[in-house]
A = this chain, B = another copy of it.
Amino acid sequence: MNHHADQFRIKVAESGDIPTILAFIHKLAEYERLSDQVKITENQLFETLFGPRPFAEVILAFEAGACVGFACFFHNYSTFKGRPGLYLEDIFVDPEHRGKGYGKQMLRYLANLAVERNCARMEWAVLNWNQPAIDVYRAIGAKPMDEWTVFRLQGDKLLDLAGK
């Protein structure tokens, strides 16, 4: 804990937060050097996060009323455990607000939610060059799933397989 702690809070995002969420998605993509991949619009965010069939949930972190970070997550599933998991799709703290433990506070919030919802585990993917993040993840006891590789099928190849 530090002197910022009493100014810090986390809240569940609502539809009014869509512009804030979109801004953080763009900031994260810039940090990950993947800006060319960002295709999302405010309408899509509304439909996929707050529509009749939400696919993910978002939390926002505030310091003294200003939004300084966000995280987006959904539930995955383990057949071996017979239980859901909490999959963290994105977590991002504004660079000028790093080093205050806010990322860890968001992770702690999500770990609590995972336990409350009977999740067997939390998982997330990290870019292999992102050593500062990897250091944090190892420090909290997360283990790299080095023996697995994720495959992705998209675009024309997905349509080809579907026979479209």
Contact A108 B56 (CB under 8 A): no
Q: How far is the CB of A160 from chain B (nearest CB, A)?
A: 7
- What is the size, in residues, of chain A's interface with B at 8 Å between Cβ atoms? 72
Residue contact A38 to B80, C-beta cutoff 8 Å: yes
Determine whether the beta carbon of B84 is less than 8 Å from that of A79.
no
- In chain B, what residue has the closest Cβ to A108? B161
Best-buried of A72, A111, A125, A155 by chain B (most CB within 10 Å): A111
12 inter-chain pairs at a CB distance below 8 angstroms, sorted by A residue, are A25-B79, A29-B80, A40-B82, A76-B87, A107-B161, A114-B162, A115-B162, A123-B153, A124-B151, A140-B161, A142-B151, A143-B151
Chain B, Cβ-Cβ closest to A37 = B80
**Chain A residues packing against B (C-beta within 8 Å):** 25, 28-29, 34, 37-41, 44-45, 48, 55-56, 72, 74-84, 87, 89-90, 107-108, 111-112, 114-115, 120-129, 134, 137, 140-164
Q: Which residue of B lies closest to A92 (CB)?
A: B79
> Does B141 lie within 8 Å of A123, measured CB to CB?
no
Check B150 against A148 for contact (C-beta < 8 Å): yes
